[in-house]
Amino acid sequence: MRILIVEDEQHLADGLRFNMEAEGYEAEVAADGDVALEKLNRTIFDAVVLDVMLPTVDGFEVARTMRAAGDYTPILMLTARGRPEDVLQGFEAGTDDYLAKPFDLNIFLARLNGLLRRREWFRDETKKTGVGSVMTINGRTIDFENLELRNRDELVPLTLMETKLLQYLIDNEGRPVSRKAILEEVWHLQEDTDTRAIDNFIVRLRRLLEDEPNNPQIVQTVRGVGYRFVAENRS
């Protein structure tokens, strides 16, 4: 497994690389956002460990650039900015997990291993919830195990957070779910947080699932509450 460490604090980057290599990973370091994007353009990595506060281009922008380019490599974001709104900004940018600095090395390695096993994890989750690993919704095929959506000839990668949100809506099909519930059950954020960040994820799901995203029939808005998933045409 090849890991890219994007971290400008050299002692921390060296320590992470040493411990990853001790775990059997191959690790490279980029000290700023521009170098990271150059490496990502040249090399296929299995995961990215991404600091937020970087020279040239910050971690949020690195993640957004990756996702805009169709690169859905798992991202573990490291941040000294551990407020819920900062975490949500990271998820909105396309990261799959986050860890606040300072952090315990064993927890870091466990989070990294978890990202690298994400397909196996999601397979286990679908077994527990009863959601099949492949589902058709409105003519779109969602592969929960491989985190992909196919619409005719177009194959669209999904982030882990997008897939978890979709699964949560399906689990509660027909029932309104609040933004607060989504924050707690999908993002595991318990504190008071600006819930408007959820809306951006809903917009993305509507673009993927709806024939007319501006007139949604599947991911419906429940005024004053949140959202409701309704899909008569699914299998």
DSSP string, 73-84: --EEEEES--SH
pLDDT for position 74: 86
pLDDT for position 130: 45
Task: Give phi and psi for 228, each to the nearest 5.
Answer: -140, 135
pLDDT of 38 higher than 90: yes
Phi-psi region at 224: left, alpha or beta (left = phi > 0; alpha = psi -120 to 50): left
The arithmetic mean of pLDDT across residues 114-120, rounded, is 67
Q: In which residue are the tokens 């870091």 written? A: 108
How would residue 190 be classed by pLDDT, with cut points 50, 70 and 90? low
pLDDT for position 215: 93
| Residue 135: CB atoms within 10 Å | 18
Span 2-116 CATH architecture: 3-Layer(aba) Sandwich (3.40)
Domains of the chain: which residue ranges?
A: 2-116, 119-229
For the stretch 138-174, pLDDT in tens is 889 998 877 789 988 888 888 777 888 898 999 899 9
pLDDT for position 227: 94
* Average pLDDT along the chain: 84
pLDDT for position 233: 60
How would residue 45 be classed by pLDDT, with cut points 50, 70 and 90? very high
Give the CATH number of domain 119-229. Answer: 1.10.10.10
pLDDT of 119 higher than 80: no
The arithmetic mean of pLDDT across residues 180-194, rounded, is 72
DSSP string, 116-154: HTHHHHHHHHHHHH---SEEEETTEEEETTTTEEEETTE
Closest CA to 213 of 226, 223, 200: 200
pLDDT for position 118: 60
pLDDT for position 159: 79
pLDDT for position 64: 92
What's the whole-model pTM score?
0.68
